[in-house]
Amino acid sequence: MTELLERAPMIGVIIPAYRVEKHIARVVKNIPEFVHKIIVVNDASPDHTGKVLATMNDSRLIVVTHAENRGVGGAMISGYDRALEEGVDILVKMDGDDQMDPERIIDLVHPLIEKKADFTKGNRFLDQTQLETMPLIRRIGNWGLTFLLKAASGYWKIFDPTNGFTAMNEKVWEKVNQNQIACDYFFESSLLIELRSHQVVIQDVAISARYQDEESSLSIVKVLL
């Protein structure tokens, strides 16, 4: 693994931050040292997320602040663009709620470094034991969205399209038509459909989530419609 990282280009982690004051410091602190840049987009968060970030002392940390909330897609567009300005070669997306294990970043970037894929994404459905920890409503919603996304994009081999733990090389983002990217929680799905139009090679990586005690606000009927 050390040899792999020695051959790795510049890696940057982009984190959309909204109402994550309780988690964002821990998320940033736990990002591995091999990551060169950490770009957190404070998407006009009404809590103390901005103040927490201001107290952090990490030379890799770059904070992008939105005056108005743009949604997760809008935050990621800002974060990806800033990453390219910083010279980042591999763009990793993580959420700010500490449900993604930063130690698994290496698993996402591995296929990119080895040039076996252009885009990688976490898949919580590849491990039955880990799947059992996923709340039932999320499983049902994901199964439905997966089928619809397969039909819409033509990526029949991928699963878990709403998984936000992803990585891509910078050339992929340069191809993306940002006007086709949804600014709301359909960001991941719209991005995958856009990537298909450019014949981007996508690979699923088995990565579990760490669920907290929060209740999901997902409306299955609304989202599937």
What mean pLDDT comes out for the span 105-131? 85
In this predicted structure, the answer to whether residue 177 has a pLDDT above a threshold of 60 is yes
| Calpha distance 152→192 (Å, rounded) | 10
Q: Which tens digits make up the pLDDT trace of 142-152?
A: 667 767 766 66
Q: Is 134 helix (H, G, I), strand (E, B) or coil?
A: coil
For residue 203, what are the β-bridge partners?
120
* pLDDT, mean over the chain: 86
The pLDDT value given to residue 222: 64
* pTM (predicted TM-score): 0.84
Q: Which tens digits make up the pLDDT trace of 4-39?
A: 666 678 999 999 999 999 999 999 999 999 999 999
In this predicted structure, the answer to whether residue 173 has a pLDDT above a threshold of 90 is yes
| Calpha distance 192→121 (Å, rounded) | 10
The pLDDT value given to residue 123: 86
The pLDDT value given to residue 220: 54
The encoded tokens of residue 44 equal 């006009």
Q: What is the DSSP letter of 214?
A: P
Least confident residue range of 88-92, 110-114, 134-138, 147-151:
134-138
Q: Is 196 helix (H, G, I), strand (E, B) or coil?
A: helix
Q: Which tens digits make up the pLDDT trace of 62-89?
A: 999 999 999 999 999 999 999 999 999 9
| Calpha distance 192→196 (Å, rounded) | 6
